[in-house]
Structure 1
Amino acid sequence: MRFFYPLLAAAAVVEAHYTFSSVLVDGKATGDWTAVRKTKNWQNNGPVTDVTSDDIRCFELSPGTAASLTANVTAGSSVGFQANPDIYHPGPLAFYMAKAPAGKTAATFDGSGPVWFKIYEEQPTVGGQSLTWSSNGLKTPSVTLPKCLPNGDYLFRIEHIGLHVAQSTGGAQFYISCGQVTVTGGGSKSPTDLVAFPGAYKATDPGILININYPVPTSYTNPGPKVFTC
């Protein structure tokens, strides 16, 4: 039996982690690793822990290798990701986008430089014995795209930060994927407050270096820029 325990432990570690493998368009999945660039954790489900690493951008297995599809989405519609198996750890969910510049498509754009803007960030419920996030346990996290978003090709980035062991530097766990989307039916309001990955976060940001266990915080500050709204 003692030889079986390591296998159980390894399985538990993988089960406790997660990936985001498929873009959801109005709740319908595009398929695993088709409109989502395959991530380094596609087999082991592990997180990024170094916010200064290029992995913090899209966690790509082979940087520069496009996904095979680019999903068509409509501004104002629901777009998200399929989580595998689900969002297991406590912490905030966020969605970012980056518009492909002239001469590039979602498939050829690497997302480098100050091009990313945030379209959603999650706040916890404060009070009681712990901070609680509504994303905990979600299998299909999604967001409504801003109706005023200009048409074009974008990288669509999901980020969930596991804060269960974030009381020491490097303890926060980032679960990240980037999808490729083409937005239609949009508006003309260009996002501001653009950031780069890496560069948007510091390991000591109060929303990254935090003890959520004891004493239980009475507030939470999300890392990164303000949310873009119409």
Structure 2
Amino acid sequence: MLVSLTLVVATALSASAHYTFPRVAGGGDWQHVRRADNFQSNGFVGNVNSEQMRCFQSNHQGAQATLTVAAGSSVPYHASQGVYHPGPMAFYMARVPDGQSVSSWKGDGAVWFKIYHEQPGFGQQLTWGSSNKATFSAPIPSCIKAGNYLLRAEHLGLHSAGSPGGAQFYISCAQLEVTGGGSTEPPNKVSFPGAYQANHPGIQININWPIPTSYKNPGPDVFKC
């Protein structure tokens, strides 16, 4: 009985240390965000070559609705609880091809461009602005074309990343209709999976010792208009 109780408590603590990204703006959970495979488990993606690296989905099922936002605005993206693990927050976007539905488009191929990534503070330890936060601001570039997009939220947990395969990715994708904007086509687009390598120094890294004095985010540079 004691062993069973200990296992239950350990499982609960493990789940509570993890998180999902289920909501944008003023909507409900999984309303404008595609329901990720971890919606119950709060689990993570550990294999950078997994198709779940795209939107943390196995079935590519669309969200209930699409959020309309203006180019040049910011979209509040909410975690299910404060982000517990140390590591960078990042956002990517991908434009749905004209004539295709945002609800059924898979987002495959080299279609993703990065709009934000977080750098740590350096000192006696790395400090992250995302730590314990539950709401993040995704900046929608003012010059991109109007249309339907997937907005991909990614938090990379680095607490166990000193060993191969130890990094933890917490991911989801929101469905957006972007209005206004311009005609700029972002360069340096990448695919998921494919954008990251497991041995990238920003993915396989010991953040505890020796304390890093620099950090290289995985993936492309942040797109700026």
Please classify the TM superposition score into its range, dividing by the shorter chain length: over 0.9
Secondary structure (helix, strand or coil) at the match of 1:4 reads helix
Match of 2:128, as an amino acid?
Answer: W
Name the CA distance, whole Å, in 1 between partners of 2:132 and 2:102: 30
1:101 to 93, 97, 119: 97
Is 1:9 matched up with 2:10? yes
Name the CA distance, whole Å, in 2 between partners of 1:46 and 1:64: 18
- Report which stretch shifted further, 216-225 or 2-11: 2-11
The CA deviation at 1:82 is 1.3
The CA deviation at 1:187 is 1.5
Q: Which residue of 2 aligns with 1:210?
A: 205
Match of 2:141, as an amino acid?
Answer: P
- Cα displacement string for residues 116-162 of structure 1 (whole angstroms, at most 9, x for unaligned residues): 0000010000112x101101111111122111121000000000000
Is 1:190 matched up with 2:191? no
Contiguous gaps of at least 5 residues in structure 1: none
Q: TM-score, normalised by structure 1?
A: 0.95
1:49 to 35, 46, 49: 46
Q: Which residue of 1 aligns with 2:22?
A: 21
How many residue pairs get matched?
224
Stretches of 4+ aligned residues off by more than 4 angstroms = none
Secondary structure (helix, strand or coil) at the match of 2:91 reads strand
Q: Which residue of 2 aligns with 1:177?
A: 172
Name the CA distance, whole Å, in 2 between partners of 1:143 and 1:33: 17
Q: How does 1:73-152 map to 2 (within 5 A)?
A: 73-128=69-124, 130-152=125-147
Secondary structure (helix, strand or coil) at the match of 2:170 reads strand
Q: Which residue of 1 aligns with 2:60?
A: 64
Name the CA distance, whole Å, in 1 between partners of 2:109 and 2:76: 24
Name the CA distance, whole Å, in 1 between partners of 2:9 and 2:79: 22
Name the CA distance, whole Å, in 1 between partners of 2:194 and 2:207: 24
- Cα displacement string for residues 67-119 of structure 1 (whole angstroms, at most 9, x for unaligned residues): 11010011111103210112110000000000001221321211000000000
Secondary structure (helix, strand or coil) at the match of 1:124 reads coil
- Cα displacement string for residues 36-66 of structure 1 (whole angstroms, at most 9, x for unaligned residues): 1111110010100000000100011x52311
8 Å CA contact 2:77–2:138 kept in 1: the answer is: no
Name the CA distance, whole Å, in 2 between partners of 1:121 and 1:106: 24
2:27 to 27, 30, 40: 30
Name the CA distance, whole Å, in 2 between partners of 1:143 and 1:66: 20
Contiguous gaps of at least 5 residues in structure 2: none
Secondary structure (helix, strand or coil) at the match of 1:73 reads strand
The percentage of counterpart residues that share the same residue type is 54
Secondary structure (helix, strand or coil) at the match of 1:143 reads strand
Name the CA distance, whole Å, in 1 between partners of 2:152 and 2:134: 16
Secondary structure (helix, strand or coil) at the match of 1:7 reads helix
